[in-house]
Amino acid sequence: MCFPAFRVVMLCCLVGNGLIAAVRAQEPDDGYRPLVGQRHQEFKLPNIVTREKVHLSDFRGRKVLLIHFASW
Amino acid sequence: MWHEKTQQARESGQLTVLGVIQEQHSERCRLFSQWQQFDWPILHDPINVLPVRAVPIFIALDEAGVVVDADLHLEELDSFLSREPVDAAVKTDNAVSKSGVPKTGSPAARAEDIILWGQPESLSEAIELLTAAIKTDLESASLQFQLGVALRLRYDSSFRQADDFQRAISAWDRALELDPNHYIYRRRIQQYGPRLSKPYPFYDWVAQARHEVTERGETPVHLHVEPQGAEIAEPLKQFLSEQQEVEPDPDNKIAMDTRKLITAEVVTVPSRAAPGEPRRVHIDLRPSHQVHWNNETEGVQLVLRTPDGWQLSQTKMVSPQPKSTESSEPRHFELEIQIPQDADSRQIEAYALYYVCEDRGGQCLYLRQDIPIDIVVD
């Protein structure tokens, strides 16, 4: 997504057919890496449709897949 | 693929998918989401509250919010979903927040709140707070980046101030200078920057998305800021050769717009560059409250003079005319300048020619405005 192949990846990894491994290989090592085994830091951000505050803890009690992406 | 693969688990309530985007303009992702028929919530983090440095990232959290996998692969999804549920109230250590997260109640935290939740009229306060915070923390890349976001937001609002866009670019340039491996920072500049440094056209999917959404019988999400110029242009591998054009007013005979009926704003991206590097120039022309464009004539012309040894992607540009006979929207031009290897800072001569009509009295005028472009070369 944030790399030369990102746009393709945006479509492919979320809705299409592949390229995930190719992009992952380009991720920098010093990026955002929440620690496995620890509770993810709490945050609140606006929903892009409603602009309402959404807390990560709102989803406590459910398995969550947190996807950081971009449409470009 | 993730969208399809997780569909059954989402529909059964087994899994919640939560998206987070880092883009400046959230409604563009709303359109993308509408196009792709994403039915899961997406959150907007334009200022990098979560210190994401690159995307995509897929993180699996269990029922207690504990990170199970910080780099989940698609083939690992079933394994994640089949894990035994855990007690949501289980006690566990919280992940340590990254340094740079503003303390509650601090000026930077107040600025963050304004940008995420406030109204456009409050952006000036956020910009002042961030500017002050930077003075006490000159090496903070995140503060510089957030300042750039706030400035660009104000630029896109009715509270726009002169130089907001250029100041945003300068702040993003500084953020990237301080943290050159931050890909989110880098992409924000590339979004508006020279085509030689573009990895891909960022928003060229918008037209297709609108078409397909409309074909489905839906109304596409309205974009507050229409992608244009560099944002939808294809990358280039080499600089465009100069197009020789006949100059329409070589002897400066057209009457000058001395009353500044049209305001010109020039932004260069990046704000500084080394010899031999390209620079993208954005020029906006905005009618004052006294006049409007006369669209029954030819469009606004922008003319540039190429200094010896320099290359310009265009030396004459004409803005397309809307269908209405008059209008008052900004007219936008973009071009690229290739700085010679041995060049110093200099000014590029440019001027615009336009037809405007006064709102009161209805007098129509054909005017010229000189628009010097200052190119700072390090």
DSSP H or E segment with residue B286: strand B278-287
B residues 70-129 near A, CB within 8 Å? 70-74, 77, 80-81, 83, 85, 88, 92-98, 116-117
Of B18, B57, B63, the CB nearest to A32: B57
Of A4, A42, A59, the CB nearest to B199: A4
In chain B, % helix, strand, coil (3-state, to 5) comes to: 30, 25, 50
Q: What is the pLDDT of residues B164-187, one digit of tens each?
A: 999 999 999 999 999 988 889 988
CB contact under 8 A, A62 and B200: no
Residue where the block lists tokens 């620690």:
A35
- pLDDT value at residue A11: 46
When pLDDT is averaged across residues B284-297 and rounded to a whole number, the result is 92
Question: In this prediction, what percent of chain A has a pLDDT beyond 90?
Answer: 46
B residues 183-202 near A, CB within 8 Å? 183-184, 187, 191, 199-202
Q: How confident is the model at residue B66 (pLDDT cuts 50, 70, 90)?
A: very high
* Cα B24 from Cα B156, distance rounded (Å): 11
* Cα B205 from Cα B349, distance rounded (Å): 35
Model pTM greater than 0.90? Answer: no
* Cα B184 from Cα B48, distance rounded (Å): 8
In a domain, B214, yes or no: no
* Cα A70 from Cα B26, distance rounded (Å): 10
In a domain, B273, yes or no: yes
Residue B375 has pLDDT above 80, yes or no: yes
Of B24, B46, B81, which one is at a domain's C-terminal end? Answer: B81
- pLDDT value at residue B362: 74
* Residues of B in Cβ contact (< 8 Å) with A54: 18, 41, 43
Q: Which residues contact B149 (CB under 8 A, 6 or more apart)?
A: B24, B46, B47, B115, B168
- ∠ CA B102-B108-B110, nearest 5°, is 105
* Domain residue ranges in chain A: 6-59
Q: What is the pLDDT of residues B302-360, one digit of tens each?
A: 999 999 889 999 899 999 999 898 999 999 999 999 999 998 999 999 999 999 998 88
B71 and B116: one domain? Answer: no
Residue of chain A with shortest Cα separation from B23: A70
Checking ipTM against 0.90, whether it exceeds it is no
- Number of C-alpha atoms within 13 angstroms, CB side, residue B124? 7
Residue where the block lists tokens 């190429």:
B306
Q: Among B54-58, B109-113, B189-193, B275-279, name the one with the lowest average pLDDT.
A: B54-58
Query: Radius of gyration of chain B from Cα atoms?
Result: 24
B131 and B30: one domain? Answer: no
- pLDDT value at residue A15: 62
Dihedral (CA of B228, B233, B238, B243) sign: negative
Quick count: other Cβ atoms within 10 Å of Cβ B117?
Answer: 13
Does residue B341 contact residue B355 with C-beta atoms inside 8 Å?
no
The domain spanning residue B124 has which CATH number? 1.25.40.10
In a domain, B165, yes or no: yes
Q: Among A1-5, B189-193, B243-247, name the one with the lowest average pLDDT.
A: A1-5
Q: Which residues contact A57 (CB under 8 A, 6 or more apart)?
A: A42, B65
Q: Which residues contact B183 (CB under 8 A, 6 or more apart)?
A: A2, A3, A28, B53, B54, B55
Question: In this prediction, what percent of chain B has a pLDDT beyond 70?
Answer: 95
Nearest to B163 by CA among B284, B260, B338: B284
- B295-317 b/e (C-beta count within 10 Å ≥ 16 → b): beeebbbbbbeebeebbbbbbeb
Query: Radius of gyration of chain A from Cα atoms?
Result: 15
Q: Is the CB of residue B207 less than 8 Å away from at least one CB of chain A?
A: no
- pLDDT value at residue B101: 57
B277 and B325: one domain? Answer: yes
* Residues of B in Cβ contact (< 8 Å) with A30: 53, 181
In a domain, B63, yes or no: yes
- pLDDT value at residue B92: 61
In a domain, B22, yes or no: yes
Q: DSSP assignment of B182-195, as one string?
A: -HHHHHHHHTTS-G
What 3-state DSSP class applies to B370?
strand
Residue B18 has pLDDT above 80, yes or no: yes
* Cα B171 from Cα B271, distance rounded (Å): 9
- pLDDT value at residue B21: 95
When pLDDT is averaged across residues A40-65 and rounded to a whole number, the result is 95
Residue B269 has pLDDT above 90, yes or no: yes
In a domain, B207, yes or no: no
Mean pLDDT score of chain B, rounded to an integer? 91
Q: Distance between alpha carbon B167 and the CA centroid of its chain, in Å?
A: 13
Question: In this prediction, what percent of chain B has a pLDDT beyond 90?
Answer: 70
- Domain holding B176, by residue range, is 107-192
User: In a mutagenesis test of the A interface, which of B42, B47, B223 is the best target, namely the one with the most A β-carbons within 10 Å?
Assistant: B42
Does residue B36 contact residue B221 with C-beta atoms inside 8 Å?
no
Count of domains for chain B: 3
SS3 of B311-364: the string is: EECCCEEECCCCCCCEECCCEEEEEEEECCCCCCCEEECEEEEEEEEECCCCCE
Class of residue B136 by CB neighbours under 10 A (exposed 0-12, middle 13-18, buried 19+):
exposed
Q: How confident is the model at residue B87 (pLDDT cuts 50, 70, 90)?
A: confident
Q: Distance between alpha carbon B139 and the CA centroid of its chain, in Å?
A: 23
B297 and B370: one domain? Answer: yes
Of B42, B50, B60, the CB nearest to A48: B42
CA distance A64 to chain B (A): 5
Q: Is the CB of residue B361 less than 8 Å away from at least one CB of chain A?
A: no
Of A25 and B6, the structure prediction assigns the larger pLDDT to B6
Q: What is the pLDDT of residues B187-242, one digit of tens each?
A: 899 999 998 878 788 999 999 999 999 999 999 999 999 999 999 988 887 776 66
Residue A41 has pLDDT above 60, yes or no: yes
B270 and B343: one domain? Answer: yes
* Cα B62 from Cα A39, distance rounded (Å): 9
The domain spanning residue B350 has which CATH number? 2.60.40.10
CA distance A22 to chain B (A): 12
When pLDDT is averaged across residues B72-80 and rounded to a whole number, the result is 93
B305 and B370: one domain? Answer: yes
CB contact under 8 A, A14 and B2: yes
CA distance B183 to chain A (A): 7
Q: How confident is the model at residue B299 (pLDDT cuts 50, 70, 90)?
A: very high
* Residues of B in Cβ contact (< 8 Å) with A29: none
Q: What is the pLDDT of residues B92-106, one digit of tens each?
A: 655 544 444 566 778
